[in-house]
Amino acid sequence: MNVPVMYLIGLAAVVFTIGVVGVLIRRNAIVAFMSVELMLNASNLALIAFARSLPDGRGHVIVFFVIAVAAAEVAVGLALIVDIFKLRHSIDVDEMSSLKG
Amino acid sequence: MALDLVIFFFLAVIAIATAASVILSRNAVYSAAFLVLNLTTVALFYILLYASFIAMVQLAVYAGAIVVLFLFVIMLLGADRGESGQTLVWQRPLAIGLGVVLIGVLFYMLLVAGSIPPPAASDLPAGFGGPEAVGRLLLSEYVLPLEVTSVLLLASMVGAIVLTRAGRREKR
């Protein structure tokens, strides 16, 4: 595929913004987590688009590391959500306000 | 070139529609299903951008392992219900307004930056983005980050087990 890199970055920007809005409006912690994954994916797409247009294989290596870190983050994040659910029987992020003054 | 643009816009519409469905679905299981579709579409983009190895990693790690983990937790917690009533009425309009501002800034930046014409496919090095090319970089120039990543994965594995271990709370 040979489209201008600007189109791909534009698509990545749109998907990233959808992820940001998802984190802001959803109160289900699991869906907020999925929105974070959308943002990571958008940044990966931008990196791959730049790697193809330069062309430089190092972009692929960075995306590989981002995917590995995302896997680690999801494992710990979902463990935290399970723990919070055991404590409060809810994963609504608005109800996690014990620290409020 | 024209066919490339048709393919790009077709896949772009699918990617944006599935991403919007992830955050708009009432049921978390539907969100996970749309997330799989979105990740698969992005993997197709990777293949079209000559990143074949990363496309396979994306399918195996993201669409395979991570989404299955999401689904396990949704089923385990029974968290697929809709959300309770709105507690902060100004939250949603403010979030959408901030999203519009963010997309405006990003597109303004794109217009200022202009576009780089990508090199033709025949100008790419042989085997660009394949397992061999990525593997050579990973095991030569990036061997230290690769080893640090393995420590990170071990730490997150231990952390997840410790956090969800039964009877942790009673001991305190």
The interface predicted TM-score (ipTM) is 0.92
Q: Is B108 on the interface with A (CB under 8 A)?
A: no
pLDDT at B87: 66
Q: Which residues of A touch B120 (CB under 8 A)?
A: 2
Omega before residue A55 within 30° of 0, cis: yes
- What pairs with residue A92 in β-bridges? A28
Q: Least CB-CB distance to A83: which of B51, B113, B164?
A: B164
Alpha helices in A54-99 (DSSP H): 58-88
Q: Is B2 on the interface with A (CB under 8 A)?
A: no
Bigger pLDDT: B2 vs B143:
B143
pLDDT at B82: 56
User: What single-letter DSSP state applies at residue B61?
Assistant: I
Is residue B165 over pLDDT 70?
A: yes
In whole angstroms, give the CA distance from residue A68 to residue B114: 32
Band of residue B86 on the pLDDT scale cut at 50, 70, 90: low
Q: What average pLDDT score do residues B39-45 get?
A: 95
Q: Is B38 on the interface with A (CB under 8 A)?
A: yes
Band of residue B81 on the pLDDT scale cut at 50, 70, 90: low
Which pLDDT tens digit goes with each residue over B5-15?
Answer: 999 999 999 99
* Contact (CB, 8 A) for A18 and B16: yes
Q: Is A16 on the interface with B (CB under 8 A)?
A: yes
In whole angstroms, give the CA distance from residue B162 to residue B16: 37
User: What single-letter DSSP state applies at residue A92?
Assistant: B
The two three-digit tokens of residue A26, written as one number: 């959803």
Helix (H) or strand (E) holding B22: helix B2-24
User: What single-letter DSSP state applies at residue A28?
Assistant: B
* Contact (CB, 8 A) for B22 and B34: yes
pTM listed for this prediction: 0.90
In whole angstroms, give the CA distance from residue B52 to residue B45: 10
Which pLDDT tens digit goes with each residue over A77-93?
Answer: 999 998 888 888 888 88
In whole angstroms, give the CA distance from residue B25 to residue A38: 15
Q: Return per-residue pLDDT of chain A as tens, 101 residues.
A: 788 888 899 999 999 999 999 999 888 889 999 999 999 999 999 999 999 888 888 999 999 999 999 999 999 999 999 888 888 888 888 777 777 76
pLDDT at A64: 94
Band of residue B84 on the pLDDT scale cut at 50, 70, 90: low
pLDDT at A39: 95
What's the mean per-residue pLDDT of chain A? 90
What's the mean per-residue pLDDT of chain B? 87
Which pLDDT tens digit goes with each residue over B46-79?
Answer: 999 999 999 999 999 988 899 999 999 998 887 6
- Min Cα–Cα distance to chain B from A80, Å: 7
CB contact under 8 A, B137 and A86: no
Q: What is the DSSP string of A44-63?
A: HHHHHHHHHHTT-THHHHHH
* Contact (CB, 8 A) for B137 and A61: yes
Q: Which residue of B has its CA nearest to A66?
A: B149
Band of residue B114 on the pLDDT scale cut at 50, 70, 90: confident
Q: Is A11 on the interface with B (CB under 8 A)?
A: yes
pLDDT at A5: 87
